[in-house]
Amino acid sequence: MTRLMALTAAAALLVACSDTTSSSASDTSDADPLFPDLIEADTVDGDTATDTSTASTDTVEPFAYECEPLATEACVTSCLTVGERLCLKEWGPCVPPPEKCDNCEDDDCDGVVNDGCPPNPVCQPVEHDCPTPAITVTPDPSTDLFTGTVLQLSSDSSIAGDGTIVTWQWSVQAPPGSSATFQPSATVANPTFTVDVAGSYLFLLDVADDLGTAGCQQAQLAVSIQVYPPLEPEVGCADGEREGFLDTDTYTHIAACSGGWSVPGITPDSVVPTCNRQGGDDGANPAGTGCASADLCATGWHLCAGWEEVAAKSPTGCAGATPPGASSESYFFAISQASVNGSVCEPVGSAGDNDVFGCGNLGNGMGGDKHCGPLDRVLASTQPDSCGWNQAMPPLGPWECIGGSGSDLHEGATVTKKACANTSCSYDGKPIDTRDKGGVLCCR
């Protein structure tokens, strides 16, 4: 009875939050001007940057978040148990609970009742005329598994009904940025799957038999993958203190580091430390005078290069980059990310330094139409000498993208965080300094 009540509660929750999954993937482009020289440069500290409610120079379509990153809530699994789902950029799959041995149900939805439990004579096998799919995987998913692991999936525990199982259809709900596929195909009985990105995967299996009878239900199996190789926790920020991705045990390969820098740029390969890593909001040179963006990362760490590296090294994508309880529009952590136009991400190694990409709660939100994997924020201007997001720039914030005519196509090469020295800016009644409003993401 308690289970029924929990289910009802979960179902009510689901109805309450249903369902805005498909964000409007409007095709609004960056609309970079054909003749940037003809557009008059607006002075960044002039009147265009005083409106706190809109980004007047930014034409990227805002992305509406359907949930609070890292929030969890109860949900009903496909086998009608009470699962839990986690918000990253949007709600993730409904992950079933672990198998419980004190009942005769398949709590974890893998198709096998009481798998891993001692035999329970009370539980009678249920006879079906439809086939019941079941998933097993090696290595054992209850052990520590890392990116790069080849998972061997098997449907051999499935139970046939009146016929013989002859068709299999596998699918997966994978973390953002994963491009792994079933091998040799998603329609064989026992495929392999090489996990390429850290995070939670939910494998799904549908079957049908030779009589044309579909499976009684869909089988599911959740597998959690950690970042390879395992590393000892380290701060990763040059100044000895992180501002985001705070848990160094969870985020062993990525850190969010606040601070300022006066040497322009974050995207080009030519960006290297110039002040012996003395920058950082907790460092010897918090204003970052003479420092580059790369100075914010500790020795052995580097500016995260491309959304692919963020996807590979954060098990939760951008969720967690903004520390808990942060006020609105307070953090943007930038990475090196190639882009040519329309705030669309290009692969690592591509040319192009248009716009500045990263994670946080400051900047324009990005939906899946930008092909930036887990990244959720961008500073994108269509005007020279602007980063395109008023709340980031003077007099509200320290981010600047000054480069003269045509610089609206090269914010990644011109970006600095050197404005607002000595708390000369303010936002929401609070003084803002060079070191505030974020910094960079460092990877190793």
Residues that bind Ca ion (CB under 5 A): 99-100, 103, 105-108, 110, 112, 114-115, 237, 239, 241, 280-282, 354-355, 380-381, 408
Looking at the Cβ atoms of 133 and 315, the one nearer to Ca ion is 133
Closest CB to Ca ion among residues 42, 115: 115
Q: In whole angstroms, how close is the CB of 148 to Ca ion at the nearest point?
A: 27
d(CA 36, CA 29): 16
d(CA 386, CA 382): 8
Q: Considering the complex, state which of residue 311 and residue 413 has its C-beta at the smaller distance from Ca ion.
A: 413
From 202, 203, 227, select the one nearest 145 (Cα to Cα): 227
**Spatial distance between the Cα atoms of 361 and 109, rounded to a whole number of angstroms:** 36
Min. distance of Cβ 245 from Ca ion in angstroms?
12
Shortest Cβ 164–Ca ion spacing (Å): 23
Residue 251 and residue 106: Cα distance in Å, rounded?
33
Closest separation between CB of residue 283 and Ca ion, Å? 7
Contact 442, 303 (CB under 8 A): yes
Give the contacts of 370 (CB within 8 A, at least 6 positions apart): 342, 343, 344, 345, 378
Which residue type is seen at 32?
D
User: Is 269 exposed, middle or buried (CB count within 10 Å of its CB: 0-12, 13-18, 19+)?
Assistant: exposed
Q: How far is the CB of 110 from Ca ion (least distance, A)?
A: 4
CB of 134 to Ca ion, least distance (A): 8
Based on CB atoms, which residue is closest to Ca ion, 103 or 167? 103
Nearer Cβ to Ca ion, position 317 or 342?
342
**C-beta of 29 vs 167, nearer to Ca ion:** 29
Cβ atoms 317, 350 nearer than 8 A: no
